[in-house]
Amino acid sequence: MTTLRLATRKSEMALLQANMVASALQQAHPGLTIELVKCSTKGDEITDRPLADIGGKALFVKTLQRALIEDRADLAVHSVKDMPAALDPHFSLAGVLPRPTAADAFVSHRYPTFADLPQGAIVGTSSPRRQAQIKKLRPDLRVESVRGNVQTRLAKLDDGLMDALLLSAAGLESLSLSDRISEVLPLDAFFPAAGQGSVGIEVMTERTDMQAYVTPINHAASFCTVSAERALVAALHGDCHSPIAAHATVSEGQVHLCGWVGNADGSQTLIAEVTGNAHQPEHCGQHCAQQLNVQGAQALLQEQR
């Protein structure tokens, strides 16, 4: 009997995602045994400072990659939005599970929609992208940085430290917290992070045997969309400091990608849309990045670095 070891973070959401991957693998490969290798990452341990100040979202990924390098795990399970857009050549995104939604969720006890927030209301988010989009639409609002897992953030809202939160709708749904969603925000106003809502499976590039296990559970349409989105961010040389958003859809052999770049206060925003061959999603992402660069994306992003 074959045993596969899945590296995962220890948070409730990460373990749920790892178990989703484990279930899919076992369904595709009857008789397969799965062992979870639970890793504690620096990003999970340090929650009193912004991620950008301690190394960015890559902190969530590097510990799991180390488990692959040291042969303590065969596969690593990530939230795709936490993965660097340009991976070290030693690692590959082997597949993704079906993506439920890429949208952001507005969460509040007192206000049913984002538009209902009164002047000066406090909105919690640790994302430069979300901060820029909030400020673009409502410069009167106060944006406060909030870190920690979903439950920690919700507890801060419950304690009255802020009036609302912006969180991933898919993340709340996976934790059976859909009842906390006041409003699913429209994707044409709140552009999501590249890969948001997707669960990804990473392998060592040389481990073609592991790739063979993942291929049957890869959701092709979701993989296409996240590939286009990640190619856009990679082409813009984006990182966790960068207010960059991307959202792609697939239909009839075509991938449609919308890319967004802004500055921290939302006073400048750039948008580009392209459509390309769904079999070449990376080309679509690169083309969209080129259109954003023509509009001045690099100069705008350089201001944030």
* Token pair listed for 108: 């509040």
For residue 22, give the H/E element and its range: helix 12-28
Contact between 98 and 119 (Cβ < 8 Å): no
Measured CA to CA, the distance from residue 163 to residue 129 in angstroms comes to 19
Residue 52 in contact with residue 21, Cβ under 8 Å? no
Q: Which tokens go with 303?
A: 């201001």
Contact 149, 129 (CB under 8 A): no
- The conformation of residue 215, written as its DSSP 8-state character, comes to G
Are residues 258 and 276 in contact, defined by beta-carbon separation less than 8 angstroms? no
Residue 101 and residue 171 in contact, taking contact as beta carbons nearer than 8 Å: no
Catalytic: 48? Answer: no
Q: Most distant CA pair in the chain: distance in Å?
A: 61
Determine which one of 74, 82, 163, 239 is catalytic: 82
Q: Which residues are catalytic?
A: 82
